[in-house]
Chain A
Amino acid sequence: MGKILVLGIGNTIRYDDAVGILAVRELKKRVSAVKFDCMELSETGLHLLSLMEDYAAVIIVDSFVTSHSKAGYIHRFDLSQLNGMSDPYSTHQLGIPSLLLFARRFNIKLPRSLVIYGLEIEKNDAFGEGLSPLVAQKLPEFIETIEKEVGAYA
């Protein structure tokens, strides 16, 4: 199997929106650099597509704001669930489902496996640093959950 990308998405100066990036910074210390590339991104869109094409598997770690889950809830989606889904959750421009549609239309190579983890957050609509207490409390569990999935690839 080729290399695996663990990608933290978020904005480090929008409070809880940093959580995906913070999680990946911690995961970077725990996983093998030979097998995994850990990266940070504050934009998705077409750039994400060109980034993903070089990897056998991609794990995206992001923050979510939904209308139906409480802060601290851990969301997980895989490729099969994403197909046919509209772009409901990301605040980072072009959503993953649209990207997948786009990639298939243009025969752009996709990773064999794509998993998205999202931690439901409280606050991302203002500028500031630091996580809200509930999200900070949930972060270690979020990281461990992803680490288990990452372990399965190793």
Chain B
Amino acid sequence: MSKRITIDPVTRLEGHGKIEIFLNDEGNVEKAYFQVPEFRGFEKFCEGRAAEEMPAITEKICGVCPTAHHMASTKTLDDLFKVTPPPAARKIRELMYTAFMFEDHLLHFYILGGPDFVVGPGSPKAERNILGVIGKVGVEVGRKVIEIRKKVRSINALIAGSPLYPVSGLPGGVTKGITEKEREDIKAIAAEAIEFAKFTFKVFEDVVLKNSNYVKIINSNIYHHKTYYMGLVDEQNKVNFYDGKIRVVDQEGKELVKFSVQDYLENIGEYVEPWTYVKMMYLKEIGWKGLKDGKESGIYRVAPLARLNVADGMATPLAQAEYEKMYAVLGGKPAHHTLAYHWARLVEVMYAAERMLELANDPDLTDTKIRNIPTERPVEGIGVVEAPRGTLIHHYETDEQGILQKVNLIVATQNNAAAICLSIEKAARALIQQGNVSDGILNMVEMAFRAYDPCFACATHSLPGEMPLIVNIYDKQKNLLREIRRD
């Protein structure tokens, strides 16, 4: 008898995803899907508004990465009005953005993704959350996480006017400069952030890398895909969150293409599957060949591991050392281990902390020229940043008054959507055998997509780190055979 399993996380602010697994008569996986069932209509909502409103509007898409949308939108306005921000404004923006990346990544490691590794994928449900993480690493660590996030967020509050919803981005600059006193405060916090990043690597080393079972899971073929990778790089091909060219490498790490975001439509395409509202992204040069990995398939991955895979290294010394160590352990570059996204995220935490300090020490930072006034008539603008969850592109077309006629957003998780489907199906096929769908097995299936830190992960609706789930198993006639609740 054929069975259908639905993993349906409770709706969260930014929408919800659902995993559906279809079993055959033998109880093995026939097909697995990752669906985003809700059409959100955000682009339509924006049309008819003044383009300058977008940095404040797009950050309300969801509560997860407002700073990323604010920054992508601000950079799109630069391009729309053909204006370049002065050096101080550019560096203030990057400082704010880097602070955001630090605290967002840290949240994922300790709270959203951490329970999978630090507590362990097979541990009881009641322990697989932040409290379980703290049980392993100690209450003092928990306090430190809260404290450092609060301090780093204070940098954002200072620069952006709000720790959560920035209001500082303007076409051609920012609303507010930084004083010498503020520079000193930021330097002190950035120095602490570096120490905390070092400490986090020690936690990772002690709790994850020294546990042979976890290392075995990271290296397992269940969580392994040879795909293309995409991410922003600077002029030296080093990882950059704020600006640069978009670089794509193949399964061997060879550069396939490097392009300006303004050429994104020539390089990446959207494919619509009938069973999901999320558009699947693919490389046009390779083409859409269905949901499969390998050289012949145009599916690519973004976000931390992809960013490291496309780069020739990290632009700061401690992050570079951790980068080299990661690839040495994983057996070279590029790494195709989906669960190594967690590790790559920590390398980026270190880079973010070091870059914060670099920028805080930059002589330009306190310059009072923080805006160039736009003079060009707007027509079209395209902007990009690397969001915590991957490459984020905004594209606006306006009339000559700057009123939006067309809006297109390629959000980070959309870039990873096809790969997430691949990862879930592979994990489900390997782990669910003869109808055995225990709680622990389902968690290991979820791990395949939680590694990507997808926007619709729904991972914090109850206890942080725990994903509320309802698993329904149906027969061929859709009669409910049994229900597993983990909410």
Which A residues fall within an 8 A CB radius of B? 11-14, 41-43, 45-47, 49-50, 86-87, 91-95, 98, 101-102, 105-106, 108, 125-128
> CA separation between A128 and B457, bound complex, in Å?
24
Contact with A along B27-44 (1 / 0, CB 8 A): 000000000001011101
The interface residues of chain A, by DSSP majority, are classed as loop
Would you give the shortest CB distance from A111 to chain B, in whole angstroms? 17
CB neighbours of B153 from chain A (8 A): 47
CB neighbours of B275 from chain A (8 A): none
CB neighbours of B464 from chain A (8 A): 45-46, 94, 98, 102
Let me know if B343 is at the binding interface, CB within 8 A.
no
> CA separation between A49 and B146, bound complex, in Å?
10
CB neighbours of A87 from chain B (8 A): 461-463
The 7 closest A-B pairs by CB, nearest first: A127-B45, A43-B63, A87-B462, A93-B460, A94-B460, A13-B60, A98-B463
26 contacts between A and B (CB under 8 A): A13-B45, A13-B57, A42-B66, A42-B164, A42-B165, A43-B13, A43-B164, A45-B464, A46-B111, A92-B63, A93-B12, A94-B461, A94-B464, A95-B461, A102-B131, A102-B464, A106-B134, A106-B139, A106-B142, A106-B143, A106-B146, A125-B11, A125-B38, A127-B41, A127-B45, A128-B45
Would you give the shortest CB distance from B68 to chain A, in whole angstroms? 14
Q: Is the CB of A127 within 8 A of B40?
A: yes
Let me know if B253 is at the binding interface, CB within 8 A.
no
Closest-by-CB residue of B relative to A50 is: B150
Task: For chain B, residues 440 to 477, give those with C-beta under 8 angstroms from any C-beta of chain A.
Answer: 460-464
Most B CB atoms within 10 A — which of A86, A102, A128?
A: A102
Let me know if B149 is at the binding interface, CB within 8 A.
yes
Q: Is the CB of B461 within 8 A of A12?
A: no
Would you give the shortest CB distance from B159 to chain A, in whole angstroms? 17
Let me know if B130 is at the binding interface, CB within 8 A.
yes
CB neighbours of B146 from chain A (8 A): 46, 49-50, 106, 108
Q: Is the CB of B45 within 8 A of A47?
A: no
Q: Is the CB of A95 within 8 A of B462?
A: yes
A105-B60 CB under 8 A given contacts A41-B164, A127-B40? no
A105-B139 CB under 8 A given contacts A11-B60, A47-B163, A93-B13? yes
